[in-house]
Structure 1
């Protein structure tokens, strides 16, 4: 169904994330991967979804001059929003430990924005999922960091990994969004093209 809808497009996923690439495969989307280095800096006044919307579009704009008429570029950005603070990917182990310690026993929001771009349009949308962690012990956090090395993940964790299995008490919204792509929303937006 979706494959038929998208056959007129050359779908480009601009993401090095193996999780996003797997989602595209599982959604039966034919795509190629193209990557460009983009400095992910945003204006300091932006809050929550404004940040991820801005960064998803910033990543897409890096490709603007090299798109062909039948190209459809997909970029995205995910962050964790905790108590009015944006948590991106950790800088190092210490940073990851501090992030997880701050999130323990609290609810945070995982925000993923997606930008769809071709030569005739740009569309940005986002999803927000609330995730509640139990009170994690230092030993649990240390074990997770030693075993899974989640340094490529916003908020220093993967919901599909050990910490998600033992630590998440409640989730409100899209699970796939927390993994890194709001697949149900992406499907809806692509079907409307």
Structure 2
């Protein structure tokens, strides 16, 4: 085991859970309901960290490390959260078609009164997609639980994403490279 301190991942995301397993970390998943609203005027990086910290502050872990994260997709200054419905998903994916956007993930590590947050940003460039391709994607991959309405690890990432500048795992929802370094410093 790389870290002896017990770890709690405060995320229902199967992608984040998979990434922590691939990092060789032993952890358990615990969830708390947290309001994910944020004050106006924050930029995408600030929003991702703000929400991640809100999630972390919901825990009172003295002997465990809690890891929380929040991922934001932004295009031309507009935040693309999780879609409300099919039409919303179609609109988001049409915006991403043939353009570049940024994915921000804020991460917070907390143990007792010690709290540390950071973020990572990755540029993602997508090819132009047709309405039929967007409908195919939504019908087959149901991206309703994903910021920006897509998962880089599925059909969209394999067929539509042309280039990524930065961390691939950040686009999946957890910048594992940075997280590992920060955990080493935190412990």
Superposition TM-score tier, normalisation by shorter sequence: over 0.9
Give the gaps of 5 or more residues in structure 1.
none
1:171 aligns with 2:164: yes
Q: Secondary structure at the match of 1:158?
A: coil
Q: How does 1:4-153 map to 2 (within 5 A)?
A: 4=2, 6-7=3-4, 9-63=5-59, 66-68=60-62, 70-153=63-146
Give 1:192 deviation, angstroms. 1.4
> 2-side partners of 1:35 and 1:49: how far apart?
23
> 2-side partners of 1:19 and 1:141: how far apart?
22
1:95-130 C-alpha deviation (Å, 9 max, x unpaired)? 100000011111000001100011131100011000
> 1-side partners of 2:164 and 2:137: how far apart?
20
Give 1:134 deviation, angstroms. 0.6
Give 1:73 deviation, angstroms. 0.5
Aligned CA-pair RMSD: 0.9
Give the gaps of 5 or more residues in structure 2.
none
> 2-side partners of 1:168 and 1:10: how far apart?
36
Q: TM-score, with normalisation over the residues of structure 2?
A: 0.97
Aligned length: 186
Q: Secondary structure at the match of 1:192?
A: helix
Q: TM-score, with normalisation over the residues of structure 1?
A: 0.94
- The equivalent residue for 2:148 is 155
> 2-side partners of 1:35 and 1:83: how far apart?
32
> 2-side partners of 1:74 and 1:165: how far apart?
28
